[in-house]
């Protein structure tokens, strides 16, 4: 709950330091004294938009600090790492930041790195004269979005104009989801809806691109069919070139080989015969001079080498195949390779790699572009959505019945006769991001009358009472530890006002309640009372907030009852009103 609030140089508040307690606290004061400033200050420290105009005249900056006690840890509605989608007022899916209303304040603080050993959390916000804002959580710098996310689990404000938004279908839907605690399920439904619509879009896109995809597949298939018969690895291309070169020069190679054999060993005056003659001559001379032995041995080695070379040339010549048909085949294959390379603007060495890439792209295109696969994914997403949406419809129907019963009982107490409040749900056959139904709040003036939408049948005063009844019903099930009601009792008075005060007091027995009111019948039900007064100074008016004791409460309630002149009778009436309410505590 809210333990304390310090406001400095905010609008017309110079300095206010207030400590709060559990139960019901009311804030009263003359019209224009600045009762709503306290709510505005709390809104600022909880992430509301800031502007330079909130800085008090003559001050450099406005500062607001709020200290909250942390509620016990509750199981998180969803995991910290999970990303969800929230549904906006128009039913469109919007990105949703994790907030403490879903995780719980303790879990949120731990997830954001603000956790500590204390059971309290301190929030602070400052705004300078240029409108620049800074924020802190537990003394550490934070963003405004983090303030807002944490504030969602610490405090909830019911505004004085809540009945004006009650006519919107989105407001009615959100109220039912809040009462039925189906917020997490709504998020799952909106995610499933988004997935379903994405698959529907993929199918539509596939249909739109079908002709283009068919042409792309055809082009790839043609390229694959062109490449497959002629594709060679880089090594294979080199081997083909070498074979063509051998076949093209076979005659020349055979002629040269035979010429070599003839000159070396088989022709007239061949080299081998001459070497044999020289060797024989030096063998004879070696007997005369042994020094010629070395030269003779070298000549003999040359004879051996020539004989081996001659043998190799004979074998080589014997192996040469004069095959013009094979040469034609090889040259034809090379021409087809080169023609394909020119067509697709690449080198022969790149053909094999290109073929692999084309095959892979074709396979991927056929897999991703499968209409049957897309339909299967779409149907699975649709089934998932319908399963979640049907569960949401069931829970909403149950929550609507419970809320209708509670609100009907409350509006009876609020002097609306025997009227009946009804929550109707109209099916949306095509579904939506917020479920399969549109929620309509309806009212019948008396039993037996067919309920009609409150937008058509309820007056302004009735709307205020219905709104108050719904808000008090929501407060009974809210997990938020602090609730603020900002002049939600507008447009009522007398006995009804006393009932409103009693309702707020009952809510205050289970959580901390603060109420800005102008009705003495409501103020009398409070456990604690604050009053706001405005004083004129030389520079500018200043608003002051005072905690009232018992006598001060009597005087303030008397002022609210009697106006400017307070008589003994008015004071007695005020004390009786407070005592009568206190007797029910």
Q: At 78, is the pLDDT very low, low, confident or very high (cuts 50, 70, 90)?
A: very low
Q: Give the mean model confidence (pLDDT) for residues 516-521.
A: 90
Predicted confidence (pLDDT) at residue 461 exceeds the cutoff of 90 = no
Q: At 19, is the pLDDT very low, low, confident or very high (cuts 50, 70, 90)?
A: very high
Pick 156 or 82 by higher pLDDT.
156
Measured CA to CA, the distance from residue 534 to residue 155 in angstroms comes to: 27
Pick 524 or 79 by higher pLDDT.
524
Predicted confidence (pLDDT) at residue 80 exceeds the cutoff of 60 = no
Q: At 249, is the pLDDT very low, low, confident or very high (cuts 50, 70, 90)?
A: low
Residue written as tokens 């602090």?
482
- Give the pLDDT confidence of 171-201 residue by residue, as tens digits: 889 889 988 989 889 989 999 999 999 999 9
Measured CA to CA, the distance from residue 546 to residue 534 in angstroms comes to: 11
Pick 103 or 555 by higher pLDDT.
555
Using an 8 Å Cβ cutoff, are 126 and 133 in contact? yes
Q: Which pLDDT score, from 0 to 100, does residue 90 have?
A: 39
Using the 8-state DSSP alphabet, how is residue 450 labeled? P
Beta strands in 420-511 (DSSP E): 420-427, 437-444, 452-453, 482-486
Q: Which pLDDT score, from 0 to 100, does residue 322 have?
A: 65
Q: At 75, is the pLDDT very low, low, confident or very high (cuts 50, 70, 90)?
A: very low
Predicted confidence (pLDDT) at residue 452 exceeds the cutoff of 50 = yes
Q: Which are the contacts of 325, defined by CB distance < 8 A and separation ≥ 6?
A: none
Q: Give the mean model confidence (pLDDT) for residues 358-369.
A: 74
Predicted confidence (pLDDT) at residue 552 exceeds the cutoff of 90 = yes
Pick 351 or 460 by higher pLDDT.
351
Q: Give the mean model confidence (pLDDT) for residues 57-64.
A: 91
Query: 226-231 — which CB contacts under 8 Å span 24+ positions?
Result: 226/340, 226/343, 226/344, 227/340, 227/344, 227/351, 227/354, 227/355, 227/358, 228/355, 229/336, 230/333, 230/336, 230/337, 230/340, 230/351, 231/351, 231/352, 231/354, 231/355
Strands 2-10 and 61-69: antiparallel
Predicted confidence (pLDDT) at residue 439 exceeds the cutoff of 90 = yes
Going by C-alpha positions, the residue among 77, 79, 76, 83 that lies closest to residue 190 is 83
Predicted confidence (pLDDT) at residue 333 exceeds the cutoff of 90 = no
Predicted confidence (pLDDT) at residue 397 exceeds the cutoff of 90 = yes
- Kind and range of the H or E run holding 475: helix 460-477
| Gyration radius (Cα) of the chain, Å | 47
Residue written as tokens 């610490």?
154
* HSE of 123, CA atoms in CB hemisphere, 13 A: 28
- Give the pLDDT confidence of 224-240 residue by residue, as tens digits: 888 888 888 888 888 88
Measured CA to CA, the distance from residue 363 to residue 355 in angstroms comes to: 12
Q: Which pLDDT score, from 0 to 100, does residue 184 have?
A: 86
Strands 155-158 and 482-486: parallel
Cα dist. 536→9, 57, 63, 149, 294 in Å? Answer: 15, 13, 22, 38, 134
- Give the pLDDT confidence of 572-581 residue by residue, as tens digits: 999 999 999 9
- Kind and range of the H or E run holding 466: helix 460-477
Going by C-alpha positions, the residue among 431, 436, 430, 429 that lies closest to residue 397 is 436
- Give the pLDDT confidence of 487-507 residue by residue, as tens digits: 777 767 778 888 889 988 988
Q: Give the mean model confidence (pLDDT) for residues 568-574.
A: 91
Q: At 88, is the pLDDT very low, low, confident or very high (cuts 50, 70, 90)?
A: very low
Using an 8 Å Cβ cutoff, are 322 and 250 in contact? yes
Q: Which pLDDT score, from 0 to 100, does residue 437 have?
A: 94
Q: At 549, is the pLDDT very low, low, confident or very high (cuts 50, 70, 90)?
A: very high
Q: Which pLDDT score, from 0 to 100, does residue 245 have?
A: 75
Measured CA to CA, the distance from residue 224 to residue 352 in angstroms comes to: 11
Q: What is the pTM of this model?
A: 0.62
Using an 8 Å Cβ cutoff, are 138 and 180 in contact? no
Average pLDDT, the chain: 83
> Roughly how many angstroms between the first and final C-alpha of the chain, as a whole number?
20
Cα dist. 203→193, 195, 196, 380, 429 in Å? Answer: 15, 13, 11, 13, 21
3-class SS of residue 396: helix
String of DSSP letters for 243-282 = HHHHHHTHHHHHHHHHHHHIIIIISTT-HHHHHHHHHHHH
Q: Give the mean model confidence (pLDDT) for residues 543-563.
A: 88
Minimum mean pLDDT among 387-391, 403-407, 563-567: which range?
A: 563-567
Report the b/e string of 343-378 with b at 16+ CB within 10 A.
eeeeebeebbebbeebeeebeeeeeebeeeebeebb
- Give the pLDDT confidence of 105-117 residue by residue, as tens digits: 888 888 888 875 6
Residues counted in the chain: 585
| Percentage above 70 pLDDT, the chain | 88
Q: At 102, is the pLDDT very low, low, confident or very high (cuts 50, 70, 90)?
A: low
> Which strands, in side-by-side order, build the sheet including 452-453?
420-427, 437-444, 452-453
Q: At 456, is the pLDDT very low, low, confident or very high (cuts 50, 70, 90)?
A: confident
């Amino acid at each position: 709950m809210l333990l304390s609030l310090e406001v400095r140089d905010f609008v017309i508040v110079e300095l206010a330091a207030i400590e709060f307690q559990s139960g019901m606290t009311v804030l009263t004061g003359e019209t224009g004294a600045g009762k709503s400033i306290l709510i505005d200050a709390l809104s600022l420290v909880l992430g509301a938009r800031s502007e330079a105009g909130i800085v008090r005249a003559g001050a450099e900056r406005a500062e607001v600090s709020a200290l909250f006690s942390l509620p016990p840890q509750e199981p998180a509605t969803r995991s910290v790492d999970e990303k969800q989608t929230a549904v906006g007022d128009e039913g469109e899916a919007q990105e949703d930041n994790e907030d403490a209303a879903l995780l719980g304040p303790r879990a949120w603080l731990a997830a954001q790195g603000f956790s500590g050993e204390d059971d309290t959390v301190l929030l602070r916000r400052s705004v300078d004269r240029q409108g620049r804002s800074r924020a802190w959580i537990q003394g550490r710098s934070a963003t405004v979005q983090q303030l807002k996310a944490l504030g969602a689990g610490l405090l909830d404000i019911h505004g004085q104009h809540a009945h004006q938004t009650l006519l919107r279908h989105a407001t009615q839907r959100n109220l039912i989801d809040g009462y039925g605690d189906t917020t997490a399920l709504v998020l799952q439904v909106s995610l499933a809806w988004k997935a379903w619509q994405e698959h529907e879009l993929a199918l539509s896109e596939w249909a739109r691109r079908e002709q283009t995809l068919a042409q792309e597949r055809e082009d790839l298939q043609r390229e694959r069919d062109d490449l497959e018969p002629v594709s060679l690895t880089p090594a294979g291309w080199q081997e083909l070139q070498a074979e063509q070169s051998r076949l093209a020069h076979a005659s020349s190679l055979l002629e040269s080989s035979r010429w070599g054999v003839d000159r070396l060993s088989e022709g007239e005056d061949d080299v081998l015969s001459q070497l044999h003659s020289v060797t024989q001559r030096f063998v004879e001379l070696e007997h005369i001079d042994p020094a010629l032995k070395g030269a003779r041995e070298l000549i003999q080695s040359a004879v051996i080498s020539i004989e081996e070379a001659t043998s190799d040339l004979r074998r080589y010549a014997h192996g040469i195949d004069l095959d013009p048909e094979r040469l034609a085949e090889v040259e034809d294959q090379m021409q087809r390779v080169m023609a394909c390379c020119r067509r697709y603007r690449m080198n022969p060495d790149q053909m094999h790699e290109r073929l692999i890439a084309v095959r892979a792209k074709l396979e991927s295109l056929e897999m991703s572009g499968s209409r049957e696969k897309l339909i299967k994914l779409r149907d699975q997403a649709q089934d998932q959505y319908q399963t979640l949406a049907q569960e949401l419809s069931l829970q909403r129907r149950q929550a609507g019945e419970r809320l209708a019963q509670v609100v009907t009982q409350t509006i009876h107490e609020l002097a609306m006769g025997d009227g009946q409040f009804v929550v109707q749900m109209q099916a949306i056959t095509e579904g939506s991001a917020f479920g399969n139904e549109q929620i309509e709040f309806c009212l019948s003036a008396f039993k037996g009358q067919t309920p009609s939408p409150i937008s058509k049948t309820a007056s302004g005063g009735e709307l205020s009472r219905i709104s108050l009844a719904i808000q008090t019903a929501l407060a009974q099930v809210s997990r938020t530890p602090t609730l603020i009601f900002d002049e939600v009792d507008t447009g009522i008075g007398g006995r009804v006002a006393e009932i409103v005060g009693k309702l707020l007091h009952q809510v205050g027995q289970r959580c901390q309640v603060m109420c800005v009111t102008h009705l003495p019948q409501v103020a009398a039900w409070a456990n604690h009372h604050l009053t706001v007064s405005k004083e004129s100074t030389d520079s500018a008016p200043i608003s002051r907030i005072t905690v009232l004791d018992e006598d001060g409460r009597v005087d303030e309630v008397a002022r609210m009852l009697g106006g400017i002149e307070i008589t003994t009778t008015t004071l007695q009436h005020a004390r009786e009103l407070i005592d009568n309410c206190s007797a029910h505590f």
